[in-house]
Each structure stands twice: as C-alpha cells, then as structure tokens.
C-alpha cells in the first residue's frame, strides 16, 4: 500500500498509473506536480490526483513513492529540484524510455545514484497524450521493465515492482544498456519510421489526395506518428547511438528490397514477405 504517491508529470503515463492504483485500492493519496496549473487542476477535476503543487520540492514532501513521468530532456531538472526534499522512506522511480540518459541525469543531479532510486519504463501507451487520455486499464497485462543499478536497494525495487503489479502490469528486470538496445529495436525505430513516412508523404505535391485515400493499413502503420513530438525528439537524442545503428541496418535491408523490386525478383520478394509474416505471426500475431 502506498500512503502518498507523488507524480511529477501528470499525463497519460502518470495519470493512468494513478487511476489504476486507485481502482486497485493500492494508494491512499495522489499528489501531482508539473509546470501547468491548468493541466493539474484538470487532473484534480477528473479525480486522477487529490491535490497538486507546481513546485516539485513541495510536492514530494511526505510522499513514500515518487514517479517522475516527464520528457527525458526534463529529467535532470526535476531530479535537481527534489534533491534533499524526499522523505527518508521515499522511493524514487521514473517512466523514461531511454534508461542510460536517465541514469546520467540522476548522477549529475544527485552526485551519486541514490539507493532509493529505481529506474523503470512502462511499455505501454497510446498515440494520445495528456491526463484526459489516461485510463485505469493502460497497464493491464502490459510489460514494465525495471533497471535497478548496483546501488539500488532491493527493498526499493520490490516496492516499485509491487506498485506496477497492483496496476496490472507484468514486471521484469534488465540492465539499462540492454533495455536501451531492446527498446531501440521494438519501439524507437518503429516510431522513427512512422514519423518519417508521414512527413515524406506530406511533402509530396499531391499529398492531400494521398491522405484522402489512405486505407486501413496506412492508418495502422502510421498511428504512432500522432504521438507527442517533444517526447520522441528527446528519446532520439537520448538513445541516438542505438537508434542510428538500427536505422543503418534498416536502410541496407531497404536497399535489398529496392533491388528486388527493380529487377522483378519474384523469389526474393516472396522470401522477404514470407519471412516477415512468419516472424510476426509467431511472436506478435497470436
């Protein structure tokens, strides 16, 4: 049971966690913090949080669990703001999509990685953003990855695990380096491709007609291009090395496909498409 949860960045991710924990009866009080009082007041009116304070240092006072759910570029400033203001029994965790950059931000802000800090990443979300898009079922049967460091207190990790499990998530652990490599392939690259495709088509001379006749496949593939651009800019900057390697590999694979199209290589095209279908059906389709 969490006595007081402080969420810094009450949007889709933080708001959905608050809703899920309330529904599960796992949290007595939720305090929100952020830069925009109007957004925080909306969160109060929606019943997501009980009260708010725009000053993170005041917001975390007395909280036994603190979740930082802000864009990666804002992590260090938030960590610096709460440094020295956390309760002795408080556990600090985050929801950042690139753990290497979060660890670097924490190191700079705190001077050392705190024992009560449990880096985490919920593998869940939608293309919508903001607290009005939050809902209690977002994490149900979805994965949450924790990347505790050598300095992390196992009891702190256990408390964060219990929180996410109460929200319905399946929790696993791995190193930050491994996390960033895996997520670059499964999340970061797909978003980069979706953004690039839509931007490329939008710059065509007849782009209005292109989008007018877009079918379901186009809508499914490009849905994630409606995600928050600021968040994804920060992710690309934070995990750039891993993303760049995958982009290079994808470009090479695309060149192979282009060559097969150019020479009308039916066997090559069929082999690529069959392999892709089998891989997706085996790992995702079911």
CATH number at residue 94: 3.40.50.720
**Domain boundary at 174, 200, 232, which?**
174
Please tell me the predicted confidence (pLDDT) of residue 285: 66
Verify that 170 and 183 share a domain, yes or no: no
Number of domains the chain is built from: 2
My answer on whether 34 and 129 are in the same domain is yes
- Based on the domain organization, do 82 and 215 belong to the same domain? no
Q: What's the chain's Rg over C-alpha atoms?
A: 21
245 and 135 fall within a common domain: no
**Residue-number span of the structural domain to which 8 is assigned:** 2-174
Domain endpoint, select from 174, 192, 211: 174
Task: State which residues of the chain have pLDDT below 70.
Answer: 207, 285-286
Give the per-residue pLDDT at 206. 72
Q: d(Cα 183, Cα 239) in Å, to the nearest integer?
A: 9
Residue at a domain's end among 174, 198, 228: 174
Whether residue 164 is found in the same domain as residue 198 = no
H helices of the chain, in order, are 12-24, 37-45, 56-59, 75-82, 99-110, 154-166, 176-183, 189-202, 207-212, 216-222, 229-238, 240-262, 266-280
User: 233 and 141: one domain?
Assistant: no
DSSP 114: -
Q: What is the pLDDT of residue 175?
A: 97
Structure tokens at 123: 């593998």
The pLDDT of residue 286 is 59
Q: What is the pTM of this model?
A: 0.87
Which CATH number covers residue 238?
1.10.3660.10
11 plus 122 within the same structural domain: yes
In this prediction, residue 65 carries a pLDDT of: 98
Largest CA distance in the chain: 68
In a shared domain, residues 127 and 26: yes
On whether both 165 and 275 belong to a single domain, the answer is no
Whether residues 210 and 78 share a domain: the answer is: no
Is the separation of the CB atoms in 140 and 114 below 8 Å?
no
Q: Residue 2: which of 168, 164, 169 has the closest Cα?
A: 164
**Regarding beta strands 143-146 and 120-123, do their DSSP bridges make them parallel or antiparallel, or are they unpaired?**
antiparallel
How many CA atoms within 13 Å lie on the side-chain side of 11? 19
Whole-number pLDDT of residue 217: 85
Same domain, yes or no: 156 and 216: no
């Amino acid at each position: 049971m969490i006595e007081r949860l402080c969420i810094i960045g009450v949007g889709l991710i933080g708001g959905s966690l608050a809703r899920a924990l309330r529904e599960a009866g796992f949290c007595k009080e939720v305090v929100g913090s952020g830069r925009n009082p109007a957004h925080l007041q909306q969160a109060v009116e929606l019943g997501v949080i009980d009260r708010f304070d725009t000053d993170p240092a005041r917001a975390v006072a007395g909280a036994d669990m603190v979740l930082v759910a802000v864009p990666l570029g804002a992590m260090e400033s938030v960590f610096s703001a709460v440094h020295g203001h956390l309760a002795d029994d408080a556990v600090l965790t985050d929801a950042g999509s690139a753990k290497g950059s979060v660890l670097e931000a924490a190191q700079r802000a705190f001077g050392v990685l705190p024992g009560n800090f449990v880096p985490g990443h919920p593998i869940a979300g939608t293309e919508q953003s903001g607290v009005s898009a939050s809902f209690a079922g977002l994490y149900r049967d979805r994965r949450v990855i924790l990347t505790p460091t050598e300095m992390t207190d196992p009891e702190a990790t256990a408390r964060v695990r219990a929180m996410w499990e109460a929200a319905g998530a399946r929790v696993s652990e791995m190193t930050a380096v491994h996390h960033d490599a895996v997520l670059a392939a499964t999340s970061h690259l797909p978003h980069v491709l979706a953004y690039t495709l839509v931007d490329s088509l939008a710059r065509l001379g007849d782009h209005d007609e292109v989008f007018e006749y877009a079918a379901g496949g186009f809508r499914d593939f490009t849905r994630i291009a409606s995600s928050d651009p600021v968040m994804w800019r920060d992710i690309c900057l934070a995990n750039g090395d891993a993303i760049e390697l995958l982009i290079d590999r994808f470009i090479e694979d695309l060149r192979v496909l282009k060559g097969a199209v150019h020479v009308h290589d039916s066997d090559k095209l069929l082999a690529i498409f069959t392999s892709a279908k089998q891989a997706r059906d085996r790992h995702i389709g079911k």
